Homo-oligomer: A and B are copies of this chain.
Amino acid sequence: MTDFPFKITKTEGRARTGVLSTSRGDIRTPAFMPVGTAGTVKALYTSQVEEAGADILLGNTYHLMLRPGSDRVARLGGLHKFMRWDKPILTDSGGFQVWSLTGLRKMTEEGVSFKSHIDGSSHFLSPERSIEIQADHLGADISMQLDECTNFPATYEEARSSMEMSIRWGQRSRDAFGERETQNLFGIVQGSTFEDLRKQSAEQLREIEFNGYAIGGLAVGEGHDRMIEVISFTEPHLPKDRPRYLMGVGKPIDLVEAVAHGVDMFDCVLPTRSGRHGQAWTWDGPINLKNARFIEDDSPIDETSDCPASRDYSKAYLNHLFKAGEYLAPMLLSWHNTAFFQSLMSRIRLSIEAGEFESLRRELNGKWRKTVEK
């Protein structure tokens, strides 16, 4: 593998803080990656994403390969130039979105055939094709191996068989990726909720050698506590000197607990998606700005925030904008939530540096425990 400096600067229990260096800049960990599904973090300018404190964002291979087409993005100079974001980008493999197309996809050892949700056209994704799209066309700083997201719930046999295919696809992804100067490749641990399968998956991926290791197949209905349990028994089998990435997670309480169990990276559409629906995440928990109790509330969401969306607009105004269906409503609340999630990661990093993470964790658990997914 190419060199991928990951320096852990401080630990507290299993929580770690550090810096992941890439040719497009450093990523402070634990890191939350805003999701730019189709080449845009929905309703935000990239300058706002950067000012919010994000060091890296995520792009979706599935969406971009269908529209505008990854070859087109390549001809236009790559995803960074296309969407005007010059910091690091991690792309997913497309596997998860294709897996979600129940009834529209057919999986074989070779790869996945599927029909586009946009126009019904036929496509094929294999480990090799996914690497071509991510690393060659989009120009991702971090590519993900193609994997199969195991159904939940799954029997032990289903989970084992699926995990083993993901290992084989991991090896093929690794072979297709080869040696690259400035780009990186992460493997993905599967194995559903079975401890020995997660261990086996992690160990085999380590042998293949990746720049980082994701924990996949979670946040698919197993609930917060079960998710944290799986992370907890998977983590000891991951190399300490490589970043661990929990895919598609999550709520603020999930981030805090996963960091406590040794996770370094996250991505989730929650900040922007919930923002579009009127939900603002705050230190005291989520509130919904559409609620009638805010109709004449002259206070901002958070007057102490550095983010203009959080600090400068009254809840009454946001309530009005949502009722009137104005663009500015999702614009402001996606911005607020994106900044809030970055502030949370910043507080987490600083607390680990200061040896005060457990204290922060207790405080936030007290406020946010009621938001956990059952």
Contact = CB atoms under 8 A, between A and B. Distances in A.
A151 interface: no
A298 B77 contact: yes
Given A83-B317, A320-B67, A327 B42 contact: yes
A82 interface: yes
Contacts of A330: 327
Q: Which of A72, A316, A326, A327 counts the most chain B CB atoms within 10 A?
A: A327
A83 B317 CA distance: 7
A327 B331 CA distance: 8
Nearest to A319: B68
Contact of A312 (B63, B75, B84, B324): B84
B327 A72 contact: no
Given A84-B312, A314-B82, A327-B331, A72 B39 contact: no
B316 A42 contact: no
A326 B42 contact: yes
Contacts of A316: 68, 72, 76, 82
A43 interface: yes
A101 interface: no
Nearest to A316: B76
A331 B43 contact: yes
A104 interface: no
A316 to B, nearest CB: 5
Interface in A269-308: 295-296, 298
Number of copies: 2
A269 to B, nearest CB: 14
Nearest to A39: B320
A318 to B, nearest CB: 11
A317 B46 CA distance: 13
A45 interface: yes
A22 interface: no
A64 to B, nearest CB: 9
A76 B42 contact: no
A108 B83 CA distance: 55
Given A40-B326, A314-B82, A296 B67 contact: no
Contacts of A38: 320, 324, 326
A328 interface: yes
A40 B325 CA distance: 11
Nearest to A328: B40
Contacts of A317: 39, 76, 82-84
Contacts of A40: 321, 324, 326-328
A137 to B, nearest CB: 14
8 contacts: A39-B324, A40-B328, A67-B323, A76-B296, A82-B314, A82-B316, A82-B320, A84-B312
